[in-house]
Amino acid sequence: MSSKETEDDEGSAEKMITSQLSEKTLVSTGIRIGTTVKTKYMQRYISRTRADGLHIIDINQTTSRIEVLGKFISRFTPSHVVVYSARDFAKTPIEKFSELTGCKRITGRFMPGTFTNPQLPFYTDTDLLIVVDPALDRQAIVEASSIGIPVAAIADTDNSTEDVDVVIPANNRGRRSLAALFWLLARSVLIYTSTITADQPMKYTIEEFETKLIEEEGEAEE
């Protein structure tokens, strides 16, 4: 396949997973806003640096990598794909993603032996691990890599991506960014598994993928 054909295929795939979402809406989630730190691993994904020092991630590379991961996930048995994060803002996005795709979710503290010790009650038979932050979720990556489980990770500009097989360059801290990332990834998986077509809407909106602040929940109850 020629490079031109590959580029055309990638462009079509990006349009496919974002067909229900305008570029303006996607940009407004902060998905491309990185940090003031740039590692050698993430330099290739940065399009520019703002006057305030924040590095801006190339959003086209973000959507292209989401498409790659979505296609990759579709080849696995969903229950053997684990999505893990210790980050609070990732809880709702991971929950919605898992509900729609059938993948297994783990949040909070990572328990040693989760992937390596079948005698433990929380042992999980895993063929693919997806994490939100290569630094925060490092223990899960190390354990998965030690037994040859491929790892995909959302990585910000300050992350190291050692032991990561598929990198999704994006803001992995923001509530809205994480909601958009998992919404897009869920959409990609559902399209590649023929659960929905490219012109069909998702069951949930990006807003419904977003973890709500405790203060907001408290106000709603009053």
Q: Does 4 map to a domain?
A: no
Model pLDDT, residue 23: 82
Give backbone dihedrals phi and psi of 157, rounded to 5 degrees, phi first. -65, -20
Q: Does 56 map to a domain?
A: yes
**pTM for the structure as a whole:** 0.88
Q: Does 5 map to a domain?
A: no
- Report pLDDT digits (tens) over 92-117: 999 999 999 999 999 999 999 999 99
The CATH number linked to 53 is: 3.40.50.10490
Using the predicted structure, report yes or no on whether residue 82 has a pLDDT greater than 50: yes
Task: Indicate the Cα dihedral angle 196, 19, 132, 37, nearest 10°.
Answer: 170
- Report pLDDT digits (tens) over 164-195: 999 999 999 999 999 999 999 999 999 999 99
Q: Does 132 map to a domain?
A: yes
- Report pLDDT digits (tens) over 12-57: 545 566 666 778 889 999 999 999 999 999 999 999 999 999 999 9
For the purposes of burial, counting CB atoms within 10 Å of the CB of 106, is it exposed (0-12), middle (13-18) or buried (19 or more)?
Answer: buried
Average pLDDT over the chain, rounded to whole?
Answer: 90
Q: Does 146 map to a domain?
A: yes
Rounded-to-integer distance, Cα 114 and Cα 112, Å: 6
Q: Does 217 map to a domain?
A: no
